[in-house]
Chain A
Amino acid sequence: MSLAFDDYGRPYIILRDQGQKKRMKGLEAYKSNILAAKAVANTLSSSLGPKGMDKMLVSPDGDVSVTNDGATIVEKMEIQHPTAKLLVELSQSQDAEIGDGTTGVVVLAGKLLEQALTLLDKGIHPLKISDGFDRACDVAIKHLETISEEIDIQANEHEALIQAACTALGSKVVSKRKRELGKIAVTAVLDVADLARRDVNLDLIKIQTKTGGSVEDTRLISGILIDKDMSHPQMPKEVKEAKICLLTCPFEPPKPKTKHNINISSAEDYKKLYLQEQQYFVDMVKLVKDSGANIALCQWGFDDEANHLLLQNELPAVRWVSGTDVELIAMATGARIIPRFQEITPEKLGKAGSVKEVQFGTSNERMLVIENCQCTKAVTILIRGGSQMIVDEAKRSIHDAICVIRNLIKDNRIVYGGGSAELACAIQVLQYADEVSSVEQYAIRSFADALEGIPCCLADNCGLNPITSVAQAKARQLQESNPRIGIDCMELGTTDMKEQRIYETLSSKKQQIQLATQVVKMILKIDDVIAPDDY
């Protein structure tokens, strides 16, 4: 790339490594950016909807993952192109904020860019296009709010929440068991939710995976599951009415943190030291035992000697419990974490109905289940499945479902899915376009077309004729002025999404439209790309 030439046609050297840089300007830059971003959107479009397909992604290390989750797909694609990367971040920020609808947002952005490209060809200034998109976006968001409905999340045993979770799970590989999984997700979220503040701390829901069994075996443990076993094989496998002592100090003689060494000059001293060490173990076990604890969980390890003593004193113990687990157990059982043995008091113990070691299938792996905790504030979802890939995908799907439920607790307004909300917005935006006198009306109209792209894409993925079905749905929406008519993806015989109970959160839909518009605006504003030559 060279910016200028002197009178003899020799280029000026103005920039560092100027020969290895490439520059694209004006229309060329817009088009190249749009095409790159569209390519990403096209990859994802076949994953949209209940009949969307999965992608198989192989990492550089040869790890295979199969997924339908938009954010995961784009993340694992390891996209290099800078504009396409914007779409990756778009999907990830939807994931961070809402957790669901990560595919939809990218597909919508792709459709908007596609429309922008035709507008650019007509010679409309890119900023006019983005102004138009912005205005259309505002109209669409307003309309979404008018068609949204408030639902009662408590009614009918949280039926509405379960339905919303089912919608989120509908497009995933686990869709066959969506009802069961949806129920699990709803119970889990409600267990940890602070309904008064409408706040859900997702850190309190632990998702543990274990290959083997089938997806039906997935269950919710109202307590904690830790991937550890008792420190000694002969310890009892189950402790009922457990009083848990949570320790963050090792079963070892205490060590000063300051650098130290011990000078032993005589045999007696050595013996004394040995005896003292022995005494430590006895004292420790005694302290724990005296407090009334009947199980000890320790963040650190313990000496074999200590282990033996614990067995003799019939005090089951678990070692090397991770810090986060210790915290979760403390939350769930109401225990206080104890930093040294001298501080053990009966009040600091946590209480749980049972602590049980469970074994899976024929494999020798064991896990500890702490159930019926005193104050259930942390829960675990144990996901089972035939293979690692299925388990991983199930984990992602349940995460999506949990996010949807959380969003509904925060804001209980919903819109109906199946492309119906997008269609309703498209109709509204089209009407608005006719009121605009300036050039922007073309952009606004195109925005409506892009919104229609979502139901089109849904219908296409379900094997329906996209144009016919969208046209029918649109006609019925207009005739009956019913914004709930969408695409009958599951072929249930009705296109009214209220009857099909396809619920989506208003916040997710709003976010999708806003984020997609924002990123498209950003891409349209770039008229100059300076990059290394291999770009």
Chain B
Amino acid sequence: MSQFLQPTILLLREGTDTSQGRAQIVSNINAVQAVADVVKSTLGPRGMDKMIQTGPKVTISNDGATILNLLEVVHPAARVLVDIAKSQDDEVGDGTTSTTLLAAELLKEAKPFIEEGIHPQIVIQGYRKALELALEKLEGFSINISRDSPQEKRDTLLKCAQTALNSKLLANTKQFFSELVVSAVEKLDPNILDRDLIGIKNVTGGSVTDSFLVDGVAFKKTFSYAGFEQQPKRFENPKICLLNLELELKSEKENAEIRIEKPEEYQQIVDAEWALIYEKLEIIVKAGAQIVLSKLPIGDLATQYFADRNIFCAGRVPQEDLLRVQKATGGQVQTTVNGLNPETFGTCGLFEEVQVGAERYNLFKNCPQSRTATIVLRGGAEQFIQEAERSLNDAIMIVRRCFKANKIVAGGGAIELELSRYLRHYARSVTGKTQYIVNSYAKALEVIPRTIAENAGLNSIEIMNKLRQRHAQGGEEGRWYGVDINGASGVCDTHSSFVWEPSLVKRNALCSATEAACAILSIDETVKNPKSDQDTKMKPKGQPGRPPMGMRR
């Protein structure tokens, strides 16, 4: 009996939570399901929004990555989902919800295998194989649009932007916004397509359709000193001087100290300081600048000096705005005025200060080498504009991707169904356990059309039957059938109804969802260390700060 009395060996710190084995995998899968369920209802054109309150801040969003981020998921396995949504967001910008759903569905399909005792690695292998086949097929199915004329290409971009906006708050004005987004992206340098060069400015008030695109830069009026209002507010073809320099009467060096021996010297020092600032201002004026922008403050003295000479100035211009002005006007930011060369000045067709809502905005329009654009968003409430900004962001990313990749597939669940059909077909030709697993992968892909149909309040089983039947007929005409939320039959050819998505989005979604699913499946043990500050945190909760209510009176 002595072996039962052996002392337990303490390997881990007290309070450490360990769980392992098959049960652990199943438990992880369940946790992932729960998180995916939260974002499930946001998918598709009839997807709903979530309102999440964190502290005093309220966010209303339809974007999968935003929602998952705000949920503050702490479960280790479920965090994987948050991470893939984020990586999808960073990589392609759209399709975050579908990636999350797909990963969760893959796991759900894997669960029975795990419970039945199939080794997780076999499932993983099967999934990897299926992914490989699906990607290959995706490449084959995607439609190349690169050889089309510019007008047709623009049309394609518009369609893709509209598909991205379909599920968002802006769905009803998607035509308007897709134009806006595509025009903005077209402004960029086609080789780089730097996202940072599209500025989005939010101004509350007005209707969403009052939003407008500035082919150049727009930024809010900066803090101004007395004398600003006396400056001219409109220029045609101005010379714009960009500075990273403080134009203020102040000490040259922070810790410098002067010793003055004679009272006469005193005036000299004062004069010298004035001379310094005046010298700088004079150089700028002599060089012929008409608009002076600086990242650092422009003081009241300089403001008035410029006002006297009909020059417009703005200090404390935010870094990214100054950068955009630089790109748009072709100027260069100077850190000193010594040797200021008029060649470093930028120019634009028209500069104007205008009232937008309650704010005044500086607009630089018709820039000669405009490689930048600014979208000024209007809307009724702060949250509304924020969500609109997120949606536009998605659309911009999609259009950018489309610009580069030139390959599209039809949305509305059509491509998923087609891939699913192909995988099922393939599964029949293999022997061994892989057959089941590839089949499950095919089934998991169907989650996208099914959820779109469910969210739209359609009978998902009926729709799925119709779609499967269409796709099973094979050939060209059945390939692009997807969910139609408006029509009576519930299915339509989404390619001919212009629900288009870049194939890159799907590619990335499939890859990251499969990777995530495989990662979770391969975890068979979690060791969770207790929080080091757990004790100190728990204590104040145990002792209520106020006396019990009954004691009063």
Which of A's residues lie within 8 Å of B, judged by CB? 3-4, 6, 12-17, 29, 33, 82-83, 85-86, 89-90, 92-98, 125-127, 131, 134, 199, 201, 203-204, 248, 254-263, 269, 272-273, 276, 299, 323-324, 326-328, 330-331, 336-337, 339-340, 510-511, 514-515, 518-519, 521-522, 525-532, 535
Contacts and interface: CB of A to CB of B under 8 A. Distances in A.
A528 B225 CA distance: 47
Nearest to A531: B53
B148 interface: no
Nearest to B172: A134
Contacts of B255: 259
8 closest cross-chain pairs (CB), A and B: A97-B205, A96-B358, A4-B34, A527-B48, A3-B34, A531-B53, A89-B381, A82-B58
Q: Interface residues of B: mostly helix, strand, loop or mixed?
A: mixed
Contact of A256 (B273, B307, B308): B273
Given A337-B304, A525-B49, A260 B384 contact: no
Nearest to B225: A323
Contacts of B258: 256, 258-261
Interface stretch (B181-189, B262-270, B287-295, B328-336): B262-270
B71 A12 contact: no
B388 to A, nearest CB: 10
Contact of B381 (A203, A328, A519): A519
B156 interface: no
Contacts of A262: 260, 263, 266
Contacts of A258: 251-253, 256-258, 269, 273
Contact of B263 (A3, A90, A276, A530): A276
Given A14-B31, A96-B204, 10 more contacts: A82-B58, A93-B357, A98-B205, A127-B46, A258-B257, A260-B258, A260-B260, A330-B229, A525-B49, A526-B49
B342 interface: no
Given A199-B355, A203-B229, A269 B262 contact: yes
B42 to A, nearest CB: 9
Contacts of B52: 529-531
A17 to B, nearest CB: 8
A94 B207 CA distance: 10
Interface of B: 27, 30-31, 33-35, 37-38, 41, 46, 48-53, 58, 60, 62, 71-75, 78, 169, 172, 204-208, 225-230, 249-253, 255-264, 266-267, 269-270, 273-274, 300-301, 304-305, 307-308, 354-355, 357-358, 379-384, 387, 457
Contacts of A299: 226
Given A4-B34, A12-B30, A134-B172, A528 B384 contact: no
A518 B384 contact: yes
A248 B34 contact: no
B51 A337 contact: no
Nearest to B57: A82
A519 B257 contact: no
A248 B384 contact: no
A240 B219 CA distance: 44
A463 B511 CA distance: 67
A150 B241 CA distance: 44
Contacts of A257: 249-251, 273
Contact of A527 (B41, B226, B274, B383): B41
Contacts of B357: 93, 96-97
B37 A521 contact: no
B71 A518 contact: no
Given A93-B204, A273-B263, A511-B206, A326 B226 contact: yes
Contact of A93 (B33, B172, B380): B380
Contact of B257 (A86, A261, A528): A261
Contacts of B274: 340
A327 B226 contact: yes
Nearest to A94: B205
6 contacts: A29-B51, A98-B205, A127-B48, A256-B266, A324-B226, A529-B50
B269 A248 contact: no
A276 B260 CA distance: 14
Which interface residue of A3, A29, A85, A248 has the most chain B CB atoms within 10 A? A3
Contacts of B205: 93-94, 96-98
Contact of A327 (B62, B229, B266): B229
A417 to B, nearest CB: 21
A131 B172 contact: yes
A321 B387 CA distance: 44
Contacts of A535: 53
Given A3-B34, A522-B383, A12 B75 contact: yes
Nearest to A2: B34
A269 B38 CA distance: 82
A139 to B, nearest CB: 14
B228 A327 contact: yes
Contacts of B75: 12-15
Contact of B207 (A95, A263, A511, A526): A511
Contacts of A337: 226-227, 230, 300, 304, 307
Nearest to B267: A254
B488 to A, nearest CB: 10
Contact of B38 (A131, A521, A528, A531): A528
Contact of A518 (B208, B225, B228): B208
Nearest to A83: B51
B41 A97 contact: no
A6 B50 contact: no
Nearest to A18: B74
Given A15-B71, A125-B46, A258-B257, A89 B383 contact: yes
Nearest to B299: A339
Contacts of A6: 27, 30
A370 B171 CA distance: 55
Given A4-B30, A15-B72, A330 B226 contact: yes
Nearest to B228: A327
B75 to A, nearest CB: 4
B27 A323 contact: no
Nearest to B56: A80
B27 A339 contact: no
Nearest to B384: A522
A528 B50 CA distance: 5
Contacts of B300: 248, 323, 337, 339
Contacts of A519: 380-381, 384
A12 B34 contact: yes
Contacts of A95: 358
A263 B260 contact: yes
A29 B50 CA distance: 10
A330 B41 CA distance: 60
A269 B261 CA distance: 9
Contact of A16 (B38, B72, B251): B72
A276 B262 CA distance: 11
